[in-house]
Amino acid sequence: MPPRRNRRAGVEDLWRNSKGEPTKRDGTGLRWRARWVDPQGRERSKAFRRRVDAQRHIDEVTTALTTHRYVDPAAGRTTVGEMLSRYLAGRQVKAKTMDGYESLVNARILPRWGPVRLDQVAGDDVSAWITDLQRGDDAVSAARARQAGIILRAALQLAVVNRMLPENPAAGVDLPAGSAKRKGVRLSAAELWKVADEMPTEVDRALLLTLALTGVRWGEVTALMVGAVDVDRRRLTVERTYTDLNGEIVEGVPKNHATRWVPAAPTVIEALRPLLKGKTATDDVFRTSSGAVLRHRNWGRRVFRPALGRAGCDESMRIHDLRGTAASLAISAGANILALQRMLGHESAALTLDVYGALYEDDLTGLAEKIDSAAYSLRTGGESDQPRSASISR
């Protein structure tokens, strides 16, 4: 239904009636009132001291209505805190990620912006706030300040989309540069076996090999069920994950909400076999000796890092770096970018290239010899007599 027409739309003189005679408001308050009807058919008005200002406002409103950029003036009275709540409520992320968002909002954004009205947010104030976050005894890192700025900007953009603001006041604010990506530590095949030999139990050894040879994430491997291990087809099905949320283990779905299967090398299958015996299909493959879910921090501190040290490897390596080890070994074995994307559970091949593209550059080292070998084989019509690259083995 089209909005009803307001016969008095336009500029109205509050001090004089249609005959030019003084009204009861003559000489009191603002004289000129702009009247219009919003897209929902509601009559709106705003008073001004000068007629030219009222007419300018009507012209702007008319243009906004025509171009579908109209913003309800009352919507600007909504607070930034309310907008942040709406923004977070609409985010489809894992529980741990949401916990991080809420922590940052409560600690860094709400204290400054919570009670502020949307129409009172200015770009200069946002810029000053970003700077203040990185000063003083309670200063945060540039990365943390950047993340806070991104969340505030996104909440304000939601207000623009919902026609509660004409434009985003934080859109042009410069945010601190993102920190340089950490170059993960990777194990060579020889180093991996050294670390495996230093693992205190067969469970720890199997866990290391599974992480380093399949590329599954920590939360995915600790939630791996016996029924998800296909011994005959040498596959692991990744369909759920565990997250440590403030000390509580929460079950969820894999990143990007997609179930996938990953190839498991014979070495991995053989390491897992003893762990499958005597368990039901819904039992977890990996558990502590007391039957509890494995904790990332505990295993890293008590098992992984000490084993790295005993094997003479870099002890700064993180458990997550084993995904890089898996990617490196897979590329060396000939995996293309699409296969690696599926194996690692990335949303797109572009993301895989962004994270592990440098490994393909490293793999160019022996490319000339491989091309020469293939060309020789085509010329002779048979197998090249040049040696092939050996597969990864102990």
Query: Both tokens of residue 361?
Result: 């550059």
pLDDT score at 370? 59
Per the structure, how many domains does the chain have? 3
148 and 18 in a common domain: no
Residues 332 and 303 in one domain: yes
**Domain co-membership, 85 together with 59:** no
- Both 157 and 287 in one domain: the answer is no
For 132-151, the pLDDT digits (tens) are: 999 988 898 898 999 999 99
Say how far apart CA 39 and CA 357 lie, in whole Å.
50
Residue closest to 281 by CA, chosen among 319, 241, 225, 325: 225
**pLDDT value, residue 371:** 67
**CB of 226 closer than 8 Å to CB of 276:** yes
The pLDDT value recorded for residue 166 is 82
What is the percent of the chain where pLDDT is above 70?
Answer: 84
DSSP string, 44-95: EEEEESSHHHHHHHHHHHHHHHHTT----GGGGGSBHHHHHHHHHHT----H
pLDDT given at position 64: 75
SS3 of residue 37 by DSSP? strand
pLDDT digits (tens, 9 = 90+) for 211-246: 999 999 999 999 999 999 999 999 999 999 998 887
Identify whether the C-beta of residue 255 lies closer than 8 Å to the C-beta of residue 277: no
Assign residue 306 the CATH number of its domain: 1.10.443.10
CA distance 182 to 314: 15
**CA pair distance 224, 241, nearest whole angstrom:** 8
Residues 64 and 111 occupy one common structural domain: no
Classified as helix, coil or strand, 238 is: strand
Same domain, 152 and 17: no
- Boundary residue ending a domain (24, 47, 70): 70
Residue 382 lies in a domain: no
pLDDT tens figures, 299-358: 999 999 999 999 999 999 999 999 889 988 888 777 777 877 888 887 776 766 666 666
**C-alpha 221, offset from chain centre:** 21
Is 227 among the domain residues?
Answer: yes
Same domain (yes/no): 118, 15: no
Do the domain assignments include residue 183? no
Do residues 282 and 306 share a domain? yes
Q: Are residues 241 and 98 in the same domain?
A: no
User: Domain limits at 296?
Assistant: 189-364
Q: What tens digit of pLDDT does each residue of 156-199 get?
A: 999 988 888 888 999 989 999 876 666 778 899 999 999 999 99
> How much is the mean pLDDT over the chain?
85
Q: Are residues 85 and 105 in the same domain?
A: yes
CA distance 268 to 207: 9
Residues 150-173: b if buried by 16+ CB within 10 A, e if exposed? ebbbbbbbbbbeebbbeebbbeeb
* Domain membership flag for residue 210: yes
**What pLDDT, on the 0 to 100 scale, is given for residue 129?**
96
Kind and range of the H or E run holding 310: helix 305-310
Confidence of residue 80 (pLDDT cuts 50, 70, 90): very high
Same domain, 272 and 326: yes
Q: Are residues 19 and 118 in the same domain?
A: no
133: CATH = 1.10.150
Last-in-domain residue among 141, 161, 181: 161
Would you say residue 383 lies in a domain? no
Task: Identify the residue with better confidence: 220 or 73.
Answer: 220
Residues 162 and 240: their CA atoms lie apart, in Å, by 35
Domain assignment present for residue 393? The answer is no
Whether 257 is in a domain gets the answer yes
Query: Is 220 within a domain?
Result: yes
